[in-house]
Amino acid sequence: MSKALYFSEKDIQKRVTEVAHSINRYYADTCQEVVVIGVLNGSFMLVADLVRNLYGTLIIDFVKVSSYKKGIVSNKNPRMQVGVSVPIKDKLVLIVEDIVDTGHTLQKVIKHIKRKHPARINVFTLLNKTSRREVEVLINWVGFDIPNDFVVGYGMDYAGKFRNLGHIRPLLKFRGEAPMKVEQKSSHPFVAGRAPD
């Protein structure tokens, strides 16, 4: 297993805290509240960890996009399923994503938010697969750049599973073919015992 695709809970907490400090510095000069908008479902853990390290008055909201997908195949035309539910006109908006892959999902979210005329949009993604990018998207903070593999854990799923893992691990090598079966030694392969590093 490649080291660059496995991130322990400790790695993640350390990096999220570092990025939070950088975000705090960025917004330090403003006395405006920041609207943090997480992209569901994958960003739920990240938003929870991030906002506990952010200063100032925050409004927290979520949007939901029907992006993923048939298994691990990217959807080039994702749909907004749930839009922003708080006022964002003239506000500072911080979008929080779990992972940017082709960029279509983030592009859709940014378009949706722009239509509501916020003062500014900034983006934090925990993971970034630059080699897979199909559309240019705004990203201001990246947790980790990763190679082209499919990862699960820390909010990210495969077929709805594995979101509860505190760490991030690759599910399989992506080779453009049908997903390989995850090796399972027990019925709870990732819950019992530690993931290999």
Q: Which of residues 39 and 94 has its CB atom nearest to ligand 5GP in the complex?
A: 39
**Total of residues contacting Mg ion (CB under 5 A):** 3
Window 83 to 142, contacts with Mg ion (CB under 5 A): 98
Strand-pairing partners, residue 156, are: 153
Chain centroid to Cα 97, Å, comes to 3
Residues 36-65 binding ligand 5GP (CB under 6 A) are 39, 42
Q: How far is the CA of 100 from the CAs of 25, 68, 78, 155, 197, in angstroms?
A: 24, 12, 13, 14, 24
Cβ nearer to ligand 5GP, comparing 27 with 38: 38
Among 20, 47, 105, 190, the residue binding ligand 5GP under the rule CB under 6 A is: 105
Query: Should residue 68 be labelled a site residue for ligand 5GP when binding is judged by CB under 6 A?
Result: yes
Residues with catalytic roles: 101
**Three-state secondary structure call for residue 6:** coil
Given Mg ion, ligand 5GP, none, residue 102, with its beta carbon under 5 to 8 Å by kind, binds ligand 5GP
Please report how close the Cβ of residue 160 comes to ligand 5GP at its closest, in angstroms.
10
Distance CA 172, CA 151 (A): 8
CB of 180 to ligand 5GP, least distance (A): 14
What is the enclosing helix (H) or strand (E) of 143?
strand 141-145
From 35, 39, 127, 139, residue interacting with Mg ion (rule: CB under 5 A): 39
Looking only at the bridges linking them, the beta strands covering 58-65 and 80-82 are antiparallel
- The span from the first CA to the last CA of the chain, in angstroms, equals 7
Query: Which of 27, 146 has the CB closer to ligand 5GP?
Result: 146
Residue 142 near residue 113 (C-beta atoms within 8 A) = no
User: Contacts with ligand 5GP in 128-157 (CB under 6 A)?
Assistant: 150-152, 156-157
Which stretches of the chain bind Mg ion, using CB under 5 A? 39, 42, 98
